[in-house]
Amino acid sequence: MEVCHAEKLHGFIDEKQVMLNIADTQTIEVYLESERFSMFEGEILAAERSLDFKAGTTGRSVIWRSPLGKEVRINTTRLVSHALLNLFVIEYTIEPLNFSGTVRLVSSHRGLVSNHFDPPKIQGLPRKSANIFFPSVQKLCTESPF
């Protein structure tokens, strides 16, 4: 499939290229007994994000109430090394607030991943906004001499 550009500049692709999906190696699930932690279920009582430039880390803290009423504080700290490019570290701290029981972390490696969103083609162009904001691009692509 040929790709049309408004200008033919160095480095622009001539044919459609596809970027391969890579394995998802960052998924870590938290379970309180049999309940899975999810930001989309239960109730978020407090949430905070942080960025520490000196340490080179990002952090998240959330206090969550499960649908069954269990409350927990979950803190995560992530570090990506610029010196050791293959090093990625994540630390979890989990504190039950109103229950005692088993807390379980499940780390997974998913090799079968797919893109989350693939916009439909509108009038032969891959993105709807191309026809709304750049109507001349469609004309150029159909009449392009290159």
Task: Give per-residue pLDDT as tens, 14-49.
Answer: 766 666 777 777 789 999 999 999 989 999 999 999
pTM here is 0.61
Q: Are 67 and 42 in contact (CB under 8 A)?
A: yes
- For the chain, give the percent of residues with pLDDT over 90: 41
Q: Which residues contact 89 (CB under 8 A, 6 or more apart)?
A: 78, 79, 81
For position 74, what pLDDT does the model report?
A: 96
Per-residue pLDDT tens over the stretch 84-135:
888 889 999 999 999 999 999 998 887 777 665 555 554 555 544 444 444 4
Closest CA to 27 of 122, 89, 108: 108
Q: Which residues pair with 118 in a beta bridge?
A: none
Give residue limits of the domains in the chain.
28-107
On the question of pLDDT at 72 being above 80, the answer is yes
Neighbours of 16 (CB within 10 A): 9
Q: Which amino acid is at 106?
A: V
Q: Are 68 and 43 in contact (CB under 8 A)?
A: no
Closest CA to 17 of 37, 35, 33, 2: 2
**Max alpha carbon distance in the chain (Å)?**
71
For position 64, what pLDDT does the model report?
A: 96
